[in-house]
Amino acid sequence: MAKLMPLSDLAPHYDGLLCDIWGVLHNGVAAFPDAVDALCRYRAQGGTVILITNAPRSNQVIYPQLARLGVPRQAFDAVVTSGDVAKSLLQEQPNMPLFHFGPARDVSILDGLTNPMVSSADTKLCLLTGPLDDRIESAEIYRPLLIEMRDNAVDMICANPDLVVKSGNHLVICAGSIAQLYNELGGQVIYAGKPEAPIYNAAMKQMIIAAGRKLSKGKILVVGDGLLTDIKGAVQNGFDAYFVAGGIHSNEMGKMKMPVNLARALGLIRDQFAEVKLVGICDQLLWT
């Protein structure tokens, strides 16, 4: 059974980490110093760290963002985003008229694409990157627009499957919540990020490049705070998992240092994912 343990206890058993970003390395406002320290120490001992995120933007946007938040380049080898995966899917349909459903900050994902940009009423393909306003608390506000697209048989590519993210001390909805509603309404959705295979395949390619050799899946550890993205992604793609309970599920799970909370969290995870290879759990990522 998985135990409450720091990364140093697990590090000797793994050649590489596929590590989530938001909720593990930072909260959208500032980096978590202990988590940064843990990754730096892991890499100093020869481990490879690929940051894998459902950010609906180009990875080239994430590097300076991490630096601004206080995550140094020494903490990781490379970044793979769901935005990169979504862009590769769009490149397979270069002439298809495209509607971008998302905030202006996500436009980097469109760089280099040849798709004609059209309105929601004129499209057959929608790139969903997130709500138009971060203050929106429910996807229901978009129901009329989603019904219109469903009736027009619009295919949606969701560039961020996360349902919510913790920004500071507040939870805000992500593109995944909107995509979920569209699917419930009968719309067709393709998910570009975690927990689906394409983003893990892309991350493993970067892992091999960074390590300079082929690595076994059994020696790679997925680190994350999302049950439906990180833990489910580890299960579906054959990786061991290390759960950070102090992220988006902190309110429902409480502190893992309390045995009753730890037992409840482990039971919840195993009930939800019978085949999970959960090797450890922590409140926040730290080395010791």
pLDDT tens-digit map of 21-71: 999 999 989 999 999 999 999 999 999 999 999 999 999 999 999 999 999
What pLDDT score was predicted for residue 168? Answer: 67
Q: Could you name the CATH architecture of 84-191? A: 3-Layer(aba) Sandwich (3.40)
Which positions of the chain have pLDDT values less than 70? 1, 166, 168-169
Tell me the longest C-alpha to C-alpha distance in the chain. 56
Cβ neighbour number for residue 44 with a 10 Å cutoff: 9
What pLDDT score was predicted for residue 108? Answer: 86
Bridge partners, 157 (sequence order): 127, 190
Q: Give the CATH fold of the 3-83+215-282 domain.
A: Rossmann fold (3.40.50)
The token duo for 102 is 């998302």
Residues of the chain with CATH 3.40.50.1000: 3-83+215-282, 84-191
168 φ/ψ sector (left φ>0, alpha ψ -120 to 50, else beta): left
Give the list of residues 6+ apart from residue 123 with CB closer than 8 angstroms, or none: 97, 98, 99, 149, 152, 154
What Rg, from alpha-carbon coordinates, does the chain have? 19
Question: Could you give the CA distance from residue 37 to residue 72 in angstroms, rounded to a whole number?
Answer: 10
Measured between alpha carbons, how far is residue 265 from residues 53, 80, 121, 281 in Å?
23, 28, 45, 9
CB environment 257-271: b (16+ within 10 A), e (fewer): eeeebbeebbeebee
What pLDDT score was predicted for residue 21? Answer: 97
What pLDDT score was predicted for residue 169? Answer: 67
What pLDDT score was predicted for residue 252? Answer: 86
